[in-house]
Structure 1
Amino acid sequence: MTYVRDDESSGERLDRHWNELLQELRLAQTGTQILFAFLLGIAFQNQFHSADAFTHAVYAGTLVACALAAAFFLAPVALHRVLYGRGLRDRLVTVTDRLARGGMTLLLASMSGGVLIALDVVLPRPAAGAMVGGVLIVFLALWLALPAYVRHKGPEKPN
Protein backbone atom coordinates (compact mmCIF):
# COMPACT_ATOMS: atom_id res chain seq x y z
CA MET A 1 0.00 0.00 0.00
CA THR A 2 1.34 3.43 -0.92
CA TYR A 3 0.97 6.35 1.42
CA VAL A 4 1.34 10.05 0.76
CA ARG A 5 3.15 12.27 3.23
CA ASP A 6 1.05 15.10 4.58
CA ASP A 7 3.70 17.67 3.70
CA GLU A 8 4.26 16.38 0.17
CA SER A 9 2.22 16.89 -2.97
CA SER A 10 1.73 14.16 -5.54
CA GLY A 11 4.21 15.88 -7.86
CA GLU A 12 6.80 16.21 -5.10
CA ARG A 13 6.35 12.54 -4.25
CA LEU A 14 6.88 11.52 -7.87
CA ASP A 15 9.97 13.74 -8.09
CA ARG A 16 11.37 12.16 -4.92
CA HIS A 17 10.70 8.64 -6.21
CA TRP A 18 12.27 9.53 -9.56
CA ASN A 19 15.40 10.87 -7.84
CA GLU A 20 15.65 7.76 -5.66
CA LEU A 21 15.38 5.53 -8.72
CA LEU A 22 18.08 7.53 -10.51
CA GLN A 23 20.46 7.14 -7.57
CA GLU A 24 19.89 3.37 -7.55
CA LEU A 25 20.34 3.14 -11.31
CA ARG A 26 23.61 5.10 -11.25
CA LEU A 27 25.19 2.48 -9.03
CA ALA A 28 23.78 -0.45 -10.99
CA GLN A 29 24.75 1.09 -14.35
CA THR A 30 28.35 1.60 -13.32
CA GLY A 31 28.82 -1.92 -12.02
CA THR A 32 27.10 -3.43 -15.03
CA GLN A 33 29.21 -1.44 -17.48
CA ILE A 34 32.42 -2.49 -15.73
CA LEU A 35 31.34 -6.13 -15.80
CA PHE A 36 30.38 -5.80 -19.47
CA ALA A 37 33.80 -4.36 -20.37
CA PHE A 38 35.49 -7.19 -18.50
CA LEU A 39 33.37 -9.78 -20.28
CA LEU A 40 34.10 -8.29 -23.69
CA GLY A 41 37.81 -8.67 -23.04
CA ILE A 42 37.56 -12.38 -22.22
CA ALA A 43 36.76 -13.39 -25.79
CA PHE A 44 40.05 -11.90 -26.99
CA GLN A 45 42.25 -13.91 -24.62
CA ASN A 46 44.20 -16.68 -26.30
CA GLN A 47 43.32 -19.19 -23.57
CA PHE A 48 39.61 -18.60 -24.08
CA HIS A 49 39.74 -19.97 -27.62
CA SER A 50 40.82 -23.36 -26.29
CA ALA A 51 37.99 -23.49 -23.71
CA ASP A 52 35.29 -26.11 -24.12
CA ALA A 53 31.76 -25.65 -25.47
CA PHE A 54 30.28 -25.35 -21.96
CA THR A 55 32.52 -22.38 -21.14
CA HIS A 56 31.72 -20.73 -24.48
CA ALA A 57 27.98 -21.22 -23.91
CA VAL A 58 28.14 -19.81 -20.37
CA TYR A 59 30.19 -16.90 -21.68
CA ALA A 60 27.71 -16.16 -24.48
CA GLY A 61 24.74 -16.26 -22.12
CA THR A 62 26.56 -14.13 -19.57
CA LEU A 63 27.62 -11.54 -22.13
CA VAL A 64 24.10 -11.25 -23.56
CA ALA A 65 22.54 -11.03 -20.07
CA CYS A 66 24.99 -8.29 -19.15
CA ALA A 67 24.32 -6.35 -22.36
CA LEU A 68 20.59 -6.61 -21.71
CA ALA A 69 21.07 -5.52 -18.09
CA ALA A 70 22.89 -2.43 -19.35
CA ALA A 71 20.03 -1.78 -21.79
CA PHE A 72 17.46 -2.06 -19.00
CA PHE A 73 19.46 0.25 -16.71
CA LEU A 74 20.02 2.83 -19.45
CA ALA A 75 16.48 2.74 -20.88
CA PRO A 76 15.13 5.23 -18.32
CA VAL A 77 17.48 7.86 -19.74
CA ALA A 78 16.04 7.47 -23.23
CA LEU A 79 12.54 7.23 -21.83
CA HIS A 80 13.02 10.45 -19.88
CA ARG A 81 14.35 12.24 -22.97
CA VAL A 82 11.31 11.24 -25.02
CA LEU A 83 8.74 11.91 -22.28
CA TYR A 84 10.31 15.01 -20.72
CA GLY A 85 7.84 17.85 -20.23
CA ARG A 86 4.78 15.81 -21.22
CA GLY A 87 3.35 15.45 -17.73
CA LEU A 88 3.92 11.70 -17.62
CA ARG A 89 6.15 11.52 -14.53
CA ASP A 90 3.80 8.98 -12.90
CA ARG A 91 4.20 6.58 -15.83
CA LEU A 92 7.93 7.30 -16.04
CA VAL A 93 8.43 6.32 -12.39
CA THR A 94 6.36 3.13 -12.78
CA VAL A 95 8.09 2.01 -15.98
CA THR A 96 11.54 2.89 -14.62
CA ASP A 97 10.86 0.82 -11.51
CA ARG A 98 10.01 -2.18 -13.71
CA LEU A 99 13.08 -1.62 -15.88
CA ALA A 100 15.27 -1.47 -12.78
CA ARG A 101 13.81 -4.76 -11.50
CA GLY A 102 14.39 -6.41 -14.88
CA GLY A 103 17.92 -5.03 -14.99
CA MET A 104 18.65 -6.41 -11.54
CA THR A 105 17.45 -9.84 -12.63
CA LEU A 106 19.70 -9.74 -15.69
CA LEU A 107 22.57 -8.42 -13.57
CA LEU A 108 22.13 -11.38 -11.22
CA ALA A 109 22.40 -13.74 -14.21
CA SER A 110 25.47 -11.85 -15.43
CA MET A 111 27.19 -11.92 -12.05
CA SER A 112 26.49 -15.62 -11.67
CA GLY A 113 27.77 -16.39 -15.15
CA GLY A 114 30.90 -14.33 -14.59
CA VAL A 115 31.61 -16.11 -11.32
CA LEU A 116 31.04 -19.48 -13.01
CA ILE A 117 33.44 -18.63 -15.85
CA ALA A 118 36.14 -17.60 -13.37
CA LEU A 119 35.64 -20.47 -10.92
CA ASP A 120 35.51 -23.03 -13.72
CA VAL A 121 39.16 -22.18 -14.44
CA VAL A 122 40.40 -22.78 -10.90
CA LEU A 123 38.03 -25.44 -9.54
CA PRO A 124 36.49 -28.67 -10.78
CA ARG A 125 33.26 -27.86 -12.62
CA PRO A 126 30.92 -29.41 -10.00
CA ALA A 127 32.60 -27.38 -7.24
CA ALA A 128 32.39 -24.24 -9.35
CA GLY A 129 28.69 -24.88 -9.97
CA ALA A 130 28.07 -25.45 -6.27
CA MET A 131 29.84 -22.23 -5.34
CA VAL A 132 27.81 -20.29 -7.91
CA GLY A 133 24.69 -21.82 -6.37
CA GLY A 134 25.87 -20.48 -3.02
CA VAL A 135 26.49 -17.05 -4.52
CA LEU A 136 22.98 -17.09 -6.00
CA ILE A 137 21.52 -17.93 -2.61
CA VAL A 138 23.36 -15.01 -1.01
CA PHE A 139 22.17 -12.62 -3.73
CA LEU A 140 18.57 -13.80 -3.35
CA ALA A 141 18.79 -13.57 0.43
CA LEU A 142 20.14 -10.01 0.30
CA TRP A 143 18.02 -8.74 -2.59
CA LEU A 144 14.70 -10.47 -1.85
CA ALA A 145 14.54 -12.18 1.53
CA LEU A 146 16.14 -9.40 3.59
CA PRO A 147 13.90 -6.64 2.17
CA ALA A 148 10.85 -8.86 2.65
CA TYR A 149 11.86 -9.50 6.25
CA VAL A 150 12.49 -5.82 6.97
CA ARG A 151 9.18 -4.88 5.34
CA HIS A 152 7.33 -7.51 7.36
CA LYS A 153 8.94 -6.60 10.70
CA GLY A 154 8.97 -2.85 10.38
CA PRO A 155 6.06 -0.46 10.74
CA GLU A 156 4.62 0.80 7.48
CA LYS A 157 5.69 4.34 6.79
CA PRO A 158 4.86 6.69 3.96
CA ASN A 159 6.87 6.39 0.76
Structure 2
Amino acid sequence: MPDTGWDENRRRGRNETEDERADRMWTELIQEVRVAQMGVQILFGFLLTVVFTPKYADLSGTDQTIYIVTVVLGACATGALIGPVALHRLVSGRRIKAHAVRWASRLTLLGLALLLATTSCSLLLILRVATDDDYVPYLVTGVVFWYLLCWFGLPIWARYRHTTR
Protein backbone atom coordinates (compact mmCIF):
# COMPACT_ATOMS: atom_id res chain seq x y z
CA MET A 1 0.00 0.00 0.00
CA PRO A 2 1.50 3.40 -0.96
CA ASP A 3 2.29 5.88 1.78
CA THR A 4 -0.32 8.63 1.47
CA GLY A 5 0.89 10.55 4.46
CA TRP A 6 -2.58 10.16 5.96
CA ASP A 7 -1.32 9.48 9.47
CA GLU A 8 1.00 12.48 9.31
CA ASN A 9 -1.77 14.76 8.01
CA ARG A 10 -4.23 13.52 10.59
CA ARG A 11 -1.78 14.11 13.41
CA ARG A 12 -0.92 17.66 12.33
CA GLY A 13 -4.39 18.51 11.06
CA ARG A 14 -3.15 20.09 7.83
CA ASN A 15 -1.55 18.93 4.65
CA GLU A 16 1.35 21.38 4.61
CA THR A 17 5.09 21.22 4.39
CA GLU A 18 7.31 22.45 7.20
CA ASP A 19 7.97 25.65 5.25
CA GLU A 20 4.26 26.20 4.60
CA ARG A 21 3.53 25.63 8.29
CA ALA A 22 6.25 28.12 9.29
CA ASP A 23 4.83 30.69 6.84
CA ARG A 24 1.30 30.22 8.22
CA MET A 25 2.45 30.39 11.82
CA TRP A 26 4.50 33.51 11.09
CA THR A 27 1.50 35.25 9.52
CA GLU A 28 -0.72 34.32 12.47
CA LEU A 29 1.91 35.47 14.97
CA ILE A 30 2.40 38.84 13.28
CA GLN A 31 -1.37 39.44 13.31
CA GLU A 32 -1.42 38.72 17.06
CA VAL A 33 1.60 40.95 17.68
CA ARG A 34 -0.07 43.84 15.85
CA VAL A 35 -2.90 43.84 18.37
CA ALA A 36 -0.56 43.75 21.37
CA GLN A 37 1.81 46.32 19.84
CA MET A 38 -1.01 48.79 19.37
CA GLY A 39 -2.04 48.49 23.00
CA VAL A 40 1.44 48.74 24.47
CA GLN A 41 2.46 51.63 22.23
CA ILE A 42 -0.63 53.68 23.14
CA LEU A 43 -0.16 52.94 26.84
CA PHE A 44 3.56 53.70 26.68
CA GLY A 45 2.91 56.94 24.80
CA PHE A 46 0.52 58.14 27.48
CA LEU A 47 2.95 57.12 30.21
CA LEU A 48 5.71 59.18 28.63
CA THR A 49 3.61 62.34 28.84
CA VAL A 50 2.79 62.07 32.56
CA VAL A 51 6.17 63.32 33.75
CA PHE A 52 5.60 66.59 31.86
CA THR A 53 2.31 67.41 33.60
CA PRO A 54 2.09 69.69 36.65
CA LYS A 55 0.47 66.85 38.66
CA TYR A 56 3.68 64.77 38.48
CA ALA A 57 5.53 67.06 40.92
CA ASP A 58 2.71 66.55 43.45
CA LEU A 59 3.08 62.73 43.43
CA SER A 60 4.51 61.10 46.53
CA GLY A 61 7.91 59.44 46.37
CA THR A 62 6.20 56.04 46.27
CA ASP A 63 3.95 57.09 43.39
CA GLN A 64 6.90 58.49 41.46
CA THR A 65 8.72 55.19 41.95
CA ILE A 66 5.67 53.28 40.71
CA TYR A 67 5.59 55.60 37.70
CA ILE A 68 9.28 55.05 36.88
CA VAL A 69 8.91 51.26 37.19
CA THR A 70 5.81 51.43 34.99
CA VAL A 71 7.60 53.42 32.28
CA VAL A 72 10.55 51.01 32.28
CA LEU A 73 8.19 48.02 32.08
CA GLY A 74 6.34 49.72 29.21
CA ALA A 75 9.62 50.30 27.37
CA CYS A 76 10.58 46.64 27.85
CA ALA A 77 7.15 45.44 26.70
CA THR A 78 7.40 47.64 23.61
CA GLY A 79 10.83 46.21 22.83
CA ALA A 80 9.69 42.60 23.24
CA LEU A 81 6.58 43.10 21.11
CA ILE A 82 8.45 44.90 18.32
CA GLY A 83 11.25 42.32 18.53
CA PRO A 84 9.57 39.79 16.22
CA VAL A 85 9.49 42.38 13.41
CA ALA A 86 13.21 43.08 13.75
CA LEU A 87 13.92 39.37 14.05
CA HIS A 88 12.04 38.66 10.84
CA ARG A 89 13.78 41.47 8.98
CA LEU A 90 17.25 40.36 10.06
CA VAL A 91 16.80 36.64 9.34
CA SER A 92 14.54 36.91 6.28
CA GLY A 93 15.85 34.82 3.40
CA ARG A 94 18.16 32.75 5.62
CA ARG A 95 15.87 29.68 5.51
CA ILE A 96 15.38 29.58 9.27
CA LYS A 97 11.77 30.68 9.45
CA ALA A 98 10.72 27.81 11.74
CA HIS A 99 13.38 28.91 14.24
CA ALA A 100 12.40 32.56 13.80
CA VAL A 101 8.76 31.67 14.54
CA ARG A 102 9.79 29.97 17.79
CA TRP A 103 11.91 32.94 18.90
CA ALA A 104 9.26 35.45 17.86
CA SER A 105 6.66 33.46 19.79
CA ARG A 106 8.84 33.59 22.90
CA LEU A 107 9.37 37.32 22.51
CA THR A 108 5.61 37.78 22.12
CA LEU A 109 4.85 35.82 25.29
CA LEU A 110 7.50 37.83 27.14
CA GLY A 111 5.99 41.02 25.74
CA LEU A 112 2.52 39.99 26.93
CA ALA A 113 3.86 39.30 30.43
CA LEU A 114 5.58 42.70 30.45
CA LEU A 115 2.41 44.32 29.14
CA LEU A 116 0.52 42.69 32.00
CA ALA A 117 3.01 44.15 34.47
CA THR A 118 2.87 47.58 32.79
CA THR A 119 -0.91 47.66 32.79
CA SER A 120 -1.06 46.50 36.40
CA CYS A 121 1.40 49.14 37.57
CA SER A 122 -0.45 51.80 35.57
CA LEU A 123 -3.72 50.80 37.21
CA LEU A 124 -2.08 50.83 40.63
CA LEU A 125 -0.69 54.32 40.09
CA ILE A 126 -3.94 55.72 38.69
CA LEU A 127 -6.04 54.29 41.51
CA ARG A 128 -3.56 55.48 44.17
CA VAL A 129 -3.77 59.01 42.76
CA ALA A 130 -7.54 58.90 42.21
CA THR A 131 -8.47 57.55 45.64
CA ASP A 132 -7.03 57.11 49.11
CA ASP A 133 -9.03 53.98 49.82
CA ASP A 134 -7.37 50.87 51.22
CA TYR A 135 -9.10 48.61 48.69
CA VAL A 136 -6.81 49.69 45.79
CA PRO A 137 -4.31 46.79 46.16
CA TYR A 138 -7.18 44.30 46.25
CA LEU A 139 -8.80 45.81 43.19
CA VAL A 140 -5.50 45.75 41.28
CA THR A 141 -4.91 42.14 42.38
CA GLY A 142 -8.37 41.21 41.09
CA VAL A 143 -7.64 42.82 37.72
CA VAL A 144 -4.26 41.03 37.53
CA PHE A 145 -5.99 37.70 38.14
CA TRP A 146 -8.53 38.59 35.44
CA TYR A 147 -5.73 39.30 32.96
CA LEU A 148 -3.95 36.08 33.93
CA LEU A 149 -7.17 34.15 33.36
CA CYS A 150 -7.95 35.79 30.00
CA TRP A 151 -4.43 35.94 28.60
CA PHE A 152 -2.92 32.73 29.94
CA GLY A 153 -5.33 30.58 31.97
CA LEU A 154 -8.07 30.07 29.38
CA PRO A 155 -5.66 29.59 26.46
CA ILE A 156 -3.60 27.05 28.42
CA TRP A 157 -6.75 25.26 29.55
CA ALA A 158 -8.06 25.13 25.96
CA ARG A 159 -4.70 23.94 24.69
CA TYR A 160 -4.61 20.96 27.05
CA ARG A 161 -8.35 20.28 27.04
CA HIS A 162 -8.88 20.27 23.29
CA THR A 163 -5.52 19.22 21.86
CA THR A 164 -5.65 15.72 20.43
CA ARG A 165 -2.98 13.50 21.80
The TM-score, its normalising length taken from structure 1, stands at: 0.92
Question: What is the aligned counterpart of 2:122 among 103, 106, 114?
Answer: 114
Q: Per-residue deviation at 1:6?
A: 4.5
Q: Which has the higher contact order (CA 8 A, sep 6+)?
A: 1
Change (3 A) 1:155 1:74: closer
Segment of structure 1 superposing worse, 120-129 or 103-112: 120-129
Residue of structure 2 aligned with 1:62, choices 70, 87, 98: 70
CA drift at 1:18: 0.4
RMSD: 1.5
Structure 2 counterpart SS, 1:39? helix
Once the two structures are aligned, what percentage of the paired residues are identical?
Answer: 35
- Single out whichever of 126-135 and 24-33 deviates more from structure 2: 126-135
1:93-104 matched pairs, under 5 angstroms = 93-104=101-112
1:42 pairs with 2:50: yes
**Distance change >3 Å, CA 99–CA 125, structure 1 → 2:** farther
Gaps of 5+ in 1: none
1:132 aligns with 2:140: yes
Is the alpha carbon distance of 1:74 and 1:6 closer, same or farther for their aligned partners in structure 2, counting shifts above 3 Å? closer
Q: Which has the larger radius of gyration?
A: 2
In the aligned structure 2, how far is the partner of 1:148 from the partner of 1:81?
Answer: 30
Aligned residue-pair number:
155
In 2, Cα distance between equivalents of 1:125 and 1:67: 29
Aligned with residue 72 of structure 1, among 61, 64, 80 = 80
Q: Summarize the Cα distance change of 1:5–1:72 in structure 2 as closer, same or farther, 3 Å threshold.
A: same
Deviation at 1:82, TM superposition (A): 1.1
Q: Is the 8 A contact 1:79 1:92 kept in 2?
A: yes
Say if 2:25 is the partner of 1:17.
yes
Q: Which residue of 2 is the match for residue 84 of structure 1?
A: 92
Q: Which residue of 2 aligns with 1:142?
A: 150
TM-score normalized by structure 2? 0.88
Q: Which residue does 2:16 correspond to in 1?
A: 8
Provide structure 2 residue ranges, at least 5 long, that are not aligned to the other structure: 1-10
Separation (CA, whole Å) in 2 of partners of 1:6 and 1:50: 59
Q: Hey, what's the Cα distance between the residues in 1 that align with 2:49 and 2:67? A: 11
Instruction: Evaluate the alpha carbon distance shift between residue 87 and residue 122 of structure 1 in structure 2; reply closer, same or farther with a 3 A threshold.
Output: same
